[in-house]
Amino acid sequence: QQRALFGQLLLSRSLRVISTRKNQTLIMLTARKKIQTERGVVPDEFEESVAQALFDLEATNNELKSDLKDLFINSAKEIDVSSGRKAIIVQVPFRLLKSFHKIHPRLIRELEKKFSGKDVVLVGNRRILKPSSSGQALARPRSRTLTAVHTALLDDLVYPTEIVGKRTRYRVDGSKVLKVYLDPKERNSTEYKLETFAGVYKKLTGKDVVFEYPVTEA
């Protein structure tokens, strides 16, 4: 009788373990729907953690649930920015960018809670088309040029803050740096992220940029 009872206990415990693993697997597979990489590349562990965070928000956050239902990301990466800060770059499909913008402040706030101490930025996934090397005048949308994509990236980084001016400065060594001036009315909500904006832009484009606010006369 003791053996039978012991056997039942083992069976019950095994079933619970199997059930738990199945539930965990189901959650992971469901969360995987929140990330669709290009060319079917398998998401890495960090990307899966961001996808899981989006899935959790969709499941538990009443403010974001309906808006997040049909949204997903293409990639996510963590980078180091100056002063020891870390940033998370979340790349989203260009066609879904407007939908992400509708919930941008709330979504960024919640993601930064989940990834404490790290700045989160959302950028659209745009593809640059190279000029034709055959000499033929093939139609290339202006929005797919290198300059246009890099300009759009600036807008993505600081959204919803407006860029009110730009100026290119040349250094003594001949290199140049772009100065981007942001709407001073948004200073309180963006100033702490200026280094992050610059670090992410440098990482994605290889170009130097400085974000500032225009000097207003007293």
Give residue 162's pLDDT: 95
Q: Judging by beta carbons within 10 Å of its beta carbon (0-12, 13-18, 19+), is residue 78 exposed, middle or buried?
A: middle
Give residue 38's pLDDT: 83
Closest CA to 166 of 217, 131, 207, 203: 207
List per-residue pLDDT tens for the chain, 218 residues long: 555 555 566 656 655 644 445 444 444 557 789 999 888 788 999 999 999 999 999 999 999 999 999 999 999 999 998 777 899 999 999 999 999 999 999 999 999 999 998 999 999 999 877 776 655 546 667 777 888 999 999 999 999 999 999 999 888 888 888 999 999 999 998 999 999 999 999 999 999 999 999 987 54
- pTM to 2 decimal places: 0.80
Closest CA to 79 of 95, 67, 91: 91
- Written as six digits, the tokens of 166 are 């730009």
Q: How far apart, in Å, are the Cα atoms of 203 and each of 52, 55, 197, 200? A: 25, 27, 10, 5
Other C-beta atoms lying within 10 Å of the C-beta of residue 48: 17
> What's the order of all strands across the beta sheet hosting 209-212?
163-170, 176-182, 209-212
Give residue 22's pLDDT: 46
Region label for 174, one of left (φ > 0), alpha (ψ between -120 and 50) or beta (otherwise): left
